[in-house]
Every structure is written in structure tokens, then in C-alpha cells.
Structure 1
């Protein structure tokens, strides 16, 4: 088959490769079963990298799989959601393409070595009664195709075998194997014969490897597991795989034939085209049914857990207070009653002395109450709670919130905290550590008991009953961001409706009172002063003073509203952006520098400041322009139109200058981003720069961009000065033109008091217009900040809403055929790696540098996903699990890991609420206890950046203590003991063995390797040896033996 699929598309002249016509020439080798076929010029090879999936959709296409297997998946037609594995097409299979479904599409992903060949169906399978010269433009195509179809039986047999292999793969992919039937109810269907199916009987094809039997209903009615077969009058054949069954409904007679027979009589293409939509429908039904089953299993498990918990809590309550405790469902309705602190009764005895189950249940209810008050919705599938008791109530709430995927943080309740709005909180009573909900309502806090008791208003006396530690939640950004700007404002202004109304009302009132100034000016100077009406002048002045004081009060209200909006916006959005940043996959951080990401995240504060100030200015300026224009229309419509023209001209000129200023702001933002990154990198690499005596080069490198940024800032300042100068000159110029008209042609247009009022109003309108355009221009300066945030907000989080909680892991790890490469066209770093680690097993991974050891660890931790194959924990695919929940049960020490800046205590404990005794025990297990005892402040000794005050061995032990404190079920250590002496390493080894955890250790140190239960030897991305170290050492020809000999020497 050296020339099969090597020619151009007869319609386009392009090869059947990528949609743009690109492709590579055919290779010399072709696998069975089509080696015997020798047609020329049918298409070109479609090189398919394993990281580049192909959609096997189309109406008139066949796909030949060569070189390696092709994994088949059902993918979402919209390009979102997870892929569902369907099966595998082996080399030599010829796959018919399926139509593009409304919800799903058939997709293939190549295994290493696989290549696809795309060819139109008409090139290999003729349509019934279709002369070949109608299908080809080239003269030679007819004779070649005719020769291919009719020349030899071997050609037809090879093509039929390839089609059978492809159809078998598709039929097995979309249909579940039916349950076995007893022999007396099974009828064997043989080709080229009629088979009668009686009631309660099913027909099965004669078993043959990869064969497909085509069946047609001759009489009666028959169906398969996924639908009814076409009626006799349709005359259609339907393919049936080795696992399919046909049943009469109730009786039927069916005829059967082979693919080769249909190919010979020229009807195969028609039957194949008729069957494609049916196969696509069956695929969609299977995916939908499996999704429904998955959801049903999750729902059933959640309900079973909740029911068991409710029953247990109810039984315990009945045991404690059998006559007065309400049923288990009353916890859902805490009731609207509110009492004062003086009239509030003490908690019940069951609340004061809760059992572990009651405490967990009450905590879960409080979390739901506070989350609901904060406007946060947790998916019901994520509300399962780990009921393991914990002595610290704060840690218990944080754990429940983490399980429900609610971002949370502990806070301190100090001072008169209940008098300020700090959002809904989870508090704890001093007596019994009972959790309570602290909810803000109508300007004060109320304490809600999860057991359904009355709500208590929080006062100084009530606050004294609460512990000083509480937990608050904050809303995460939605996964589907859409428009970034709209998202940030809708998200950041959530809960600001009252302040926005106050801001608008105060602005309207201030503008309305501001109209008194031009009107009073015209009346006083145009009428009262000439007439000498002193009482009216005094009254008008007093009215203006009172209006000014009232306007000042409205201004205070407006400014307070702006401050509240700005603070709420910055707090909410800043927390949401950092939460999103921390939930992004590890591969995202390789595409951006630390300075870029830090600048983008911290730019939220700048956005809040600018937008809040601009919003207040824009609202007030728009109202001033509109109201003063209305006033001018009242006095003189023609002059009002003239003033509107002058205002429009001013706005146009200022807009042109502002657009130019915005262009420079964009360049400046990009340059500032680069400068921030350079400063950060220079400070981190300062020791290396000093060793190389390259401080001057670093300074020069920074100075070039700094000078350019200052040059751009000067340009921006010149444009801003131009705006100021234009405003200073344009207002007097327009006023002069207006007065000239009133003194000349429009002398009789209005009285003196009207002229004065109109002039003051016109000046105010021009000033407000300049303020409006300037504010909008300054708002444009934050547009580049939105551009910085866009990559963070548009990147999907590492954990989707459909990820499942893994439960408590036992430590079983299974890697199945994992292949990984860092770039699509690069060599595989891991090549079809398969390994299985039993719970509690100690596995050492060894191999030369660059063989893929650290990459394997990245795959095990979910930092990267294999391009083919999978990683399983306790039989669960890691790609479908909550990666954070998995990693939380793992202790990890990565190669070149560095401590954080902070105390030894904070480095070991991290963000968890571990006690000092637990921290000391972790330090002892890591062999660090004696070193900490010699420090001047013990656990509270502060470490500088990267722990430079510690030796390499102390840093390693510190990171090991950080991994051991959580008592993990799985330990991953990547060269974690390379800097330790033999005595300390022995301590670490004994400590990790005592944990009875699964240990996967990447090491070169012989003493570590020889203590392992099993050694896995990697070379060039493949596992070349695996077994106990003694057995591998005995193999003198093995790589492990040579590895040990080099160390012994």
C-alpha cells in the first residue's frame, strides 16, 4: 500500500491533510490489512501529534489508522467539558466519519507512532450505479478506481477487513455489551442466509475477530439494544458487532451478509451513509446516559451521607433530650425571631456539650447560613463533610468550607467590631466552642444559633460571650468569565446597591441646589441691586448660604458612599483575583513572569481608586451639563443651541487630546510592567550578579526602560498641560463671544438678570464638560490594567465544578500508559510509562539525569496532564478529581524547594492551625528538633528570604517537617535527603516508615534506594527495570547494576 492516499483532492487539488490542504507525503511502510491494495493518488498522510486531537466528523470521509493505535473519545460539541473515553482503534482500521452532533462529537487522539490518512468515501467505495468518470476530473482516476474495486478479490477482502476493524471499534465504543443470554434463547446469525427470531430470542453474529455482520429485516419487526431496525420496506442493512444482539419484536426474519459482499454488489456506500447518523445518535445517548449515571451516583452518595448524619444526630438528641428536642429538619429554619442580649437564654445542654457528630453538623449548618448571607452558593455535590473530629473550632470551619469550595480566612474580632460592617461571619461561643452565625441586618449584627433558637442582637455583652477568632468567606470569581470588564464591575459592585442609590440621590440633590447660584446671581445683580431692594438681597444671600450648607451635607453623603463603594470593590475584587490566581494550573505560571502576575493582581487597587473617582465626577458633570442646558433653553433656545455647539467643540478637542494621551498610557503600562518584572528579577538574583560583578550591567539594563518610561510620562504631562491651557483659554473666549452677541445682535433677547443667569450657567456647563472629558480620559489609563488581568480571569481554573472529591485515600497509585512531552513537536519525556504502587509501599525511582523522574512526579501531583494515558488514585482518574483535595492528603518535598520568608513555626505549620506540640513532633520526625533548640528564638526565629540563614541540610529538613506535619497518606520526595548526613537520614527514614504511608522517592543516594521495597529504573522516558533492589542488583547486565557500581567506585 505504498501509494494509497498519496494524491490530491480531485475537487481542490490539495492533499487530504489539514483543512488548509497541508500535509506530508506518504511514507513507504503501510500496515495490514491494506498492504495488498495498490491504487495511486487518493490522498495524503495527516500527521497527528498525540497532543493534537482530531475531530472525526464529516459526511463523506474515511480515516485510516496506521503505525499506532487511535484512542476514541466523545467530546463536547462546543469544545468545553471533559472527554469521555470510548475505545481504541488499532492500526489498520478504516474508520467512517460520523456527523457533527448537536451535543457531542467523535474525537480521536493518537498514541505514539500513530498517523491518520484521510480519504473521501467515493475514492474507495463507489456509490450504487455511479460511473467512476463522474467522480474524478483526472483521466487516470477512473481506470485506477475501477481496477481497485473490481480487479481482485484480495483487494476487496483487504478493504472489507479494514472497514470491519473500524466499524467494530465504533460499535464497541458506542454500545455497552449486553448481559449474556442462555444458549436456548440465542440464535446464531450466519451470513448469506435468513434467520428466524422467535419470541424471547436474540440473534448473535458468528464469532470472528474484528468481523462485522450486516443484517436486514426481511419480515416482521426487529430491534437492537439501542433502537429499532429499519422496516423491511426500507431495504437497509445495519452493521452488527461481535457483542451486539438482535431481538424480534415479537418475531422477525432477518437476512445477513458480510462487508465484502456489500462491497462487491456496490451497495455498501448507501448502507454506510444511512448508518452514520444512527451511530452518532447512539454515541450521544451513551454519553448522556453515563453522565446521568455519574450524577445519580454522586447524588445517591450525598443523600446517603446526609441521611446517615441526620439519623445519627437525631438519635443522639433523642437520647439526650427525648421530649423537647425538635426533629432533625428544624435546623434548616433558624427563624426570624430577634431578642436582646439580656433576654437571650443560654445555649441548651446539647449545644454546650455536643458530640463530635453534632459539632460537625452544627458547623456545616452555620457555614451554609453565612455563605448564603454573603451571596455565595456552594454546589450540593461539594457539601460532603469529613467528620473526623478536630479540637480547634476554627480549623473545623475552615475544613468544612474547603470541602464545600468556599474561600475562607480566619479573622480577629477586636475592639467594637460589631458596630462596623465586616460582612457575615462564623463566630464561636466561649462555652463549648459552639459555632454561631454572625449576620449583618439593618445596621447591626445578629447571632443565629444553628439549632433553630432565636436570633440575638450582638451588643458588648453578647460579644463578650464570643471568642476573638472568627471565620469569614469571600465570593470566588465565576469560572465562566465572559467579558472581563463587565465581570469585574458586576462582581465588585455586588452588595453596593444602597450606596449607588445614595450616590445618585446626593448628586441629583447637589446639582439641583447648584442651580440656585446662577438664578440668584441673575436676580440679585440684574434686578435687586439696581432697584435697591436690600431685604431681598439679604434673603437671597441667606438662601444661597443655606443651599450651600445643604449641598455640603449631600457632598459628605456622596463622598462616604464613594468610599464605601471603593473599599468594597477593592476588597471583593482583590480577594477574588488572588483566589483565581491561586487556583490556576501550574502550566499557566510558566507563561508569565512573577512581576507580570503580581502587577496584574495588585492593579485592582488602582482600578478601584480611578473608577470610583471617575464615577463620581462623571455623574456630577453629566447632571450639571444636562440641568444647565435645560436652564439655558428656558431663557433662550437660540443661545442655548449656540452654547451647546461650543460645548460640543470643547468636548471634541479634549477627546482628541485624550485619545492621544490614552495611547501613551497603554505604552507606559506595558513598560511599567516590564520594569516591575526586571526589578523583581534583579533583587532575587542580586547574589549571582555580585558573584559575576555584573551589577552595572543590571543597572544599565533597568535604566534603559526607566528612561523610556520617564520620556513617555513627560509626553503625558505635556498633553495634560495642553488640556489645562485649553480649558483656561476656551472658557473666557466663549464667554466673550456670548457677551458680544448679547451686546450686539441679541441685545433684546433677554433682560439683564437673564443675561447674568445665562452667562453663569454657560460657564458652569463648559467647566463641567471639561471635567467630564478629563475624567473619562483618566479612566482610560486603567484600560491597560484590565488587559493585564485578562489572562488571569480567562484562564480556566485547575479544578472545575465537576471535579469529584477523592475521599480518604489509601495510597494506591496506578499510572497507565502515560506519555508526556513539553512541546507538541518535542521528544517524549515520558513514553508509555505504566506502574502500580500498592498502599504503604516504598518505591524508589532512579535513572540518569533527564530521564523523566521529576516529570513523572509532576504528573502524579497533577501539575501536568499526560498527553495519553492516565494517572489513578485508588482507582479514580486524577483528571476527574479535585486536585487540591488529593494534594492535601500528600506530603511533597520537591527538588530545590525553598522555605518562605517568616518564622520556623510558620514554615512548618503553613496556613493550618496545628498546635505547637504537633509542630515540635514534625520537627523531631525530620531530625530538626536539636537545630531548633539551638536557635535564639526557637520556633519563632525568623528566616530571611529563601532561608539563606539555614544550611542546605537544614532547609531540606525544614521542608520535610512541613510535609510530615499533616500525617499524609502519600509521600513524594524528590531528592529530599541529598544534603543530609547518614544519622539524620536514618531519623527521617524511620519517621516516614512509622507513618505507614505510600512513599515514592526520587533519589540518587544508594542508602536510600536500597531500603526501598521496589526500585523503578527510568531511561529515556521508559521503565527499563522494576523490582526489589536486591534482585535488580543481581542482574549484571541491567542499568541498575551499572548505576550502583558507579556509586560504589
Structure 2
């Protein structure tokens, strides 16, 4: 389209009299054997436009495919790195930060890549148009290019601020996402204690900070455009004036040059917009990279000796120590968990019971001592192989927002309905089949549609579906009512001999059937033995039994009340 005006003019005056860019086009037509007629010219121009449209479509297809794959890769690779990190990584990283990086930051990283591709394409287009402009009038083109270069230098400081404002937006966005996650997770607490206003004030401060950062970033972009457009037109006017008065450029060439500038100007404006977009969204990519590198730094070891399908001799902790910073959590602790045994770890809060469970699971490593599985040091054992043989039920078991059946199949996707029924029966969770949709019932967010006792029994069934050789219950009944507690106790007692059980609890009645109980206090084992032995020994365990029995009797209504 750019050469259409001078070409038609040249056709009117005669191809032989043409010169410059149109002369080159006529020479090309002659080489290709195309007659220099109006019809041929229009057909060629139309064909060029169609080809350009097709190439643009193919480019956009490739670009959007690349951008979406890039964004998806940022998410999957980051989650893979985080899930491959030690438990220490999750203890030291805010959950809101990780969620924000997987969602908002990944989207913005995709935007940065999109703007980078667009910047490259716009630059290439400008180079092509500038080359054609040089054909038409190299003097006027050089004047405009030099002027644009000077303009870019003048605006460099303003454009560079986009990176700072982009970083502020990214960080403020992360704080808003993190705070929103925490507020909604604590919605029941906030409503129960009438502290919604305080939470809303805190959230409003974060939102205001984000709004301010976005305002500054947007105004910075608008300022560049407000300065660039009039200044670039001013440069063009100077170029045209010099072309007419100094270089005697023909009117037809000036018309083509103006059309060329009309095509180039939006792309040059877009280039600075794309550049600012890259600078604004690049900090999100940096956050993803930093979080991923932190996860890699704390990457869990892989490889090692595989674990047998079933425990033979059992699990043993030999003189293990563990500390959080300078604070000792457990000191010189040794416990034996024979294969097929039911072992209880009891004691007051903060005694180190859950820490020992984490050591057995390989979530943390002892600073001293060893964790042995069938006589093999867990430090040289394949952790994935070991954990795939372990069932785990926590104090607040997480159920995913899907059906009961899908939750049960988490660790055993191949399990059929009969296997699910057997696990539900073993966990005293037959209530599932009384629900309107049975095992196809959707449990809601984190199992919100079920009671606490029902969630725990489904969590126990989920652990049993995988047919573990070791079952770890970490305060699994501490938040339950007496009836739910008794149901889970009965289910665990029935597993005796077929599954090795470690029951971490401060409810002593939960481990009455245990073959061996370890009483911990202050990170040390103070007493060990069976329930009857420890109850009659008159020690700390017996005192704790007495306190809990007294509390239980006070909670039970009198017959004469």
C-alpha cells in the first residue's frame, strides 16, 4: 500500500520515466514478466495484503501458543520445585506467597513474555518500514531517526521507572493475595470474635498500597505517551520542512513518507508501551525465580535404598536430637516401634511428640542420632519409597473439594470400589453410604460439608486405602468429641497386628490398647511401658491419667442432677 500512490503516478507518466523506489518495483515486475498495468498492480498489491494478513495470523498463533505454554511452565515447574523441597521450606514460607506466585505472578510473567514478543515484532516491523523510507528519502529518514533516538534518550529515565513501579505493584499484589487468603481462612474466628473490622482495616491498607502502586505505574505509562506523541509529530514537521526547503524532495515522495510515518508511528508508540510492559511485569518473573531457587536450595534428597513392601523388624529412633534454631525440641530420644505393634507417644503440648513423628516420616532430619527402618538408616533410604508405605492422619486432615471417592483414591488411584468399602469399614466410616450420593458426595472446601469426626474417619480410610505398613496418627482425635474419638480408637485397635501404628496424642485414653507407650516431657522420654504399667508406677504418666480422669468425671453429669 505504501508505494501505491507513486506507482500509479509512474504508470500515468510512463514506467520508463520512473526512478527511485518505484523504478525498482518496475524493474522487479519486468524480471518476473508481469506487465506494468493498473490491473496487474492492483492484483499484486491485493496479493501482498492477503499474504501479510496470513503471516500475521500465523505469527499470532505461534505467539499465543508460546505465551500460554510459557505461563503454564512457570506454574508447573514452580509447584514441582516446591513439592520437591524439604518440609523446612514450607515452615519458612508464607502460604500466601506461594499461592500468589503460582497464580498472579505466573500470569504477570506470561504478560511480560507476551510484551517481549510483541516488542520484538514491532521492532522488526519498524526496521522494515524504515528501510523502505530510506529508499524514498534517506535524508528525511535519517533526520527523523536521529530525532527519535534523541527523544528515546530524553524519555529513558521515565521509562526506566516502570521497572520500579512494576516491582511495587508485584509486591503489593502479593501482600493483598496473602492477606486475603489469611482473612478468608480465619473467617470463622473473625466472625466469632467480632474482629471483622480489624481484619478489614488491615486488608484495606494493603489494597490502598496496591492501588497507589498501580496508579503510579499507569500514570508513568500515560506520561510517556503524552510526551512522545506531540514530540514525535514535531520531529516529523521539522523533517518535512527540511526535506522541502533543503533537499528538494518530490511531493509524491513526501506523501509516501507521510503514509509510511502514519504506519510506523503507532508501532513506535506501541514499542515504548511494550517496553514498559516488560519492565512492569518482569519483577513477577523475578519473584517466581527467587521462590523456585529457594525451593531448589532446600530440595529434598532423592534416590537411596528402596523400602520393602512390609516392615519386618520395625522402626527405631536412636538417640535423636532436633532443634529449631537454638531451641532444642527433642534431646537424646530413643524409641522402638516393632513391626505390627501399636505404640503411643504421649505427653503435654510442646513435649516433642509430633517432632518425633516428623522424624519417622523423613520430613525433618535429626541433628544427631539415627532413624532406622528395618535396621537401615533413613538418611540413606529412598524417601519416596518409604513414604509410599506410610499412612498419615493429622489433627486437621485436609479433604479436597471433590468427591469422597476421589479423596480416598489420593494415594491409590487404582483402588476399586470394593477396596474403598473395605477401608471405610476399617475406619468406622460406613456413614458414607447413608449419604444421598454415597461415595460420590462432594465434601466441600476442606471437607466443610462434613463434621469433624466424619472428616477424620474419611482421612483414616484414605490412609488405609493405600494399604500402608506404618500408620502415623498425629493428634488425630484431639479435636473430636468423645463418640468420634471412641470410633477412631476402635478402628485403630482393630488394626493391631496387621499394621504398625504410631499414635501421637495427649489424650491418654486413645492409647489404652497400645503395647508400648512413651511419655515425653521437655523433649525427653521420661517414662515408657504399657498403659497399666505406667498407670501404676505413680509417675508423671499416672499423674496425667488422674488429671484427665478427674476432668472427664467433672464433664459427666451426675445421676442425681
* Number of the residue aligned with 2:491: 988
Give CA deviations for 1:634-654 in whole Å, capped at 9, x if unaligned: 455444432221121233244
Q: Partner of 1:792 in structure 2?
A: 291
Aligned-pair distance for 1:974?
A: 2.0
Q: Which residue of 2 aligns with 1:1020?
A: 522
Residue 295 of structure 2 corresponds to residue 774 of structure 1: no
- Tell whether 2:454 aligns with 1:970: no
CA separation of 1:641 and 1:818: change in aligned 2, threshold 3 A: same
**What secondary structure, in the 3-state scheme, does the structure 1 residue paired with 2:333 have?**
strand
Distance 2:270 2:488 in 1: 70
Q: Note if 1:815 corresponds to 2:299.
A: no
The CA deviation at 1:855 is: 1.4
Question: Which has the higher mean CA deviation after the structures are superposed, 692-701 or 721-730?
Answer: 721-730
From the superposition, tell whether residues 893 and 1042 of structure 1 become closer, same or farther in structure 2 (CA, over 3 Å).
same
Alignment of 1:853 with 2:353, yes or no, is yes
For 2:449 and 2:266, how far apart are their aligned partners in 1? 61
Matches within 5 A, 1:719-738: 719-738=220-239
Residues 705-733 of structure 1: CA deviation (Å, up to 9, x unaligned)? 22232233222222222233334323422
Q: Is 2:171 aligned against 1:680?
A: no
CA 1:817–1:906 in 2, change beyond 3 Å: closer, same or farther? same
Matches within 5 A, 1:597-746: 597-603=98-104, 605-607=106-108, 609-746=110-247
Aligned to 2:29: none
Alpha-carbon displacement from aligned partner over 1:832-860 (angstroms, at most 9, x marks no partner)? 11222221122111222211111111111
CA deviation map 1:521-550 (0-9, x unaligned): 44335x4467799x8555434322221111
Q: Does 1:945 align with 2:445?
A: yes
Name the residue aligned to 1:569.
Answer: 70
More helix as a share of residues? 2
1:775, distance to aligned residue in structure 2 (A): 1.1
Alpha-carbon contact 2:67-2:113 (below 8 Å) kept: yes
Displacement of 1:798: 4.0
Alpha-carbon distance in structure 2 between the residues aligned to 1:729 and 1:968: 73
Matched, 1:872 2:356: no
Q: What number of residue pairs does the alignment pair up?
A: 525
C-alpha contact (below 8 Å) 1:529/1:537 kept by paired residues: no
**In 1, Cα distance between the equivalents of 2:150 and 2:332?**
70
* Consecutive unaligned residues in structure 2, runs of 5 or more: 18-35, 551-561
Q: Against the structure 1 CA distance between its residues 1025 and 583, is the aligned structure 2 distance closer, same or farther, given a 3 Å change threshold? A: same
- 8 Å contact kept, 1:574–1:604: no
- The structural deviation recorded for 1:922 is 0.9
Instruction: Give the one of 436, 453, 457 matched to 1:936.
Output: 436
Tell me by how many angstroms 1:886 deviates: 1.4
- State the shift of 1:764 in Å: 4.1
Report Cα offsets for 1:933-968 as digits up to 9, x if no partner: 332222122223333333332222122111111111
Secondary structure of the 1:746 match is coil
CA drift of 1:928 comes to: 1.2
Query: Does the C-alpha gap of structure 1 residues 528 and 654 become closer, same or farther in structure 2, counting only changes over 3 Å?
Result: farther
Higher Rg of the two aligned structures: 1
CA contact (8 A) 1:658 1:774 kept: no
**CA apart distance, 1:670:** 0.7
Aligned to 1:487: none
Q: Give the superposition deviation at 1:759.
A: 4.2
CA distance in structure 2 between the aligned counterparts of 1:989 and 1:696, rounded to whole angstroms: 44
Q: Sort the Cα spacing of 1:876 and 1:786 in 2 relative to 1 into closer, same or farther, 3 A.
A: farther
Query: 1:900 is paired with a residue of what secondary structure?
Result: coil
Pair 1:573–1:716, CA change in 2 (3 A)? closer
Instruction: Give the TM-score of the pair, scaled to structure 2.
Output: 0.86
Instruction: Say whether residues 1:518 and 2:2 are aligned partners.
Output: yes
Give the whole-Å Cα distance in 2 for the aligned partners of 1:591 and 1:682.
20
Mapped contact 1:799–1:882 kept (Cα < 8 A): no
Q: Indicate the SS of the match to 2:418.
A: helix
Q: SS state of the match for residue 943, structure 1?
A: coil
Check the 8 A contact 2:172/2:213 in 1, yes or no.
no
Q: Greater strand share, 1 or 2?
A: 1
Could you say if the C-alpha distance between residues 1019 and 655 of structure 1 is closer, same or farther in structure 2, counting changes exceeding 3 Å?
same
| Kept after mapping to 2: 8 A contact 1:809/1:874 | no
2:436 aligned counterpart, secondary structure:
coil
Aligned with residue 805 of structure 1, among 291, 297, 306 = 306
Asked if structure 2 preserves the Cα contact closer than 8 Å seen for 1:923 and 1:961, the reply is yes
Give per-residue Cα distances to partners, 1:787-838, cap 9 Å, x unaligned: 2212431122643344443343416212122111112x22x11011122222
SS of 2:495's partner is helix
Question: Aligned match of 2:362 in 852, 862, 867?
Answer: 862
Distance 1:606 1:530, change over 3 A: farther
What is the CA deviation profile of residues 264-320 of structure 1, one whole-angstrom value per residue up to 9, with x for unaligned ones?
xxxxxxxxxxxxxxxxxxxxxxxxxxxxxxxxxxxxxxxxxxxxxxxxxxxxxxxxx
Contact 1:809 1:873 in 2 (8 A): no
Cα drift, residue 976 of structure 1: 2.3
Mapped contact 1:580–1:792 kept (Cα < 8 A):
no
Shift of 1:916: 1.3
1:114-159 CA distances to partner (integer Å, 9 max, x unpaired)?
xxxxxxxxxxxxxxxxxxxxxxxxxxxxxxxxxxxxxxxxxxxxxx
Deviations 1:732-757 (A, max 9, x none): 2222111100221222xx44444444
Match of 1:959 in 2: 459
Superposed, 1:542-553 pairs within 5 Å as 542-553=43-54
Distance 1:692 1:954 in 2: 26
Residue number in structure 2 paired with 1:430: none
Partner of residue 595, structure 1: 96
Match runs of 1:244-263 below 5 Å: none
CA–CA distance in 1 between the matches of 2:486 and 2:223? 75
Between 811-820 and 677-686, the greater mean CA deviation after superposition: 811-820
**Equivalent pair of 1:731/1:763 in contact (CA under 8 Å):** no
Give the Cα separation in 1 of the matches to 2:350 and 2:446: 26
- 1:382-393 alignment, distance < 5 Å: none
**1:1012 shift after superposition:** 1.3
Give the SS at the match of 1:1026: strand
Check the 8 A contact 2:302/2:383 in 1, yes or no: no
Q: Distance in 2 between matches of 1:562 and 1:721?
A: 26
CA contact (8 A) 1:1035 1:1041 kept: yes
- Distance across 1 between alignment mates of 2:508 and 2:311: 28
TM alignment of 1:386-535, pairs within 5 A? 517-524=1-8, 527-528=10-11
User: Which residue of 510, 513, 516 maps to 1:1011?
Assistant: 513
Check the 8 A contact 1:573/1:604 in 2, yes or no.
Answer: no
Contact conserved, 1:891 with 1:970, CA < 8 A, in 2? yes
Report the CA distance shift for 1:882/1:789 in structure 2 as closer, same or farther (over 3 A): farther
TM-score norm. by structure 1 comes to 0.47
Q: Deviations over 1:314-348 (max 9, x none)?
A: xxxxxxxxxxxxxxxxxxxxxxxxxxxxxxxxxxx
Name the SS of the counterpart of 1:1035 in structure 2: coil
**Separation of aligned partners in 1, 2:215 and 2:409:** 49
Whole-angstrom CA distance in 1 between matches of 2:136 and 2:488: 93
Describe how 1:126-275 pairs up with structure 2 within 5 A.
Answer: none
Q: Taking CA–CA contacts closer than 8 Å with sequence separation of 6 or more, which of the two structures ends up with the larger relative contact order? A: 2
Match for residue 282 of structure 2 among 783, 792, 799: 783
Distance, in Å, in 2 between the alignment partners of 1:621 and 1:948 is: 51
**Would the aligned equivalents of 2:140 and 2:240 in 1 still touch at CA under 8 Å?**
no
User: What SS does the corresponding residue of 1:705 show, helix, strand or coil?
Assistant: helix
Structure 2 vs 1, CA of residues 739 and 948 (structure 1 numbering), >3 Å: closer, same or farther?
closer
Between the aligned partners of 1:616 and 1:975, the Cα distance in structure 2 is 53
Question: 1:497-533 CA distances to partner (integer Å, 9 max, x unpaired)?
Answer: xxxxxxxxxxxxxxxxxxxx333344335x4467799
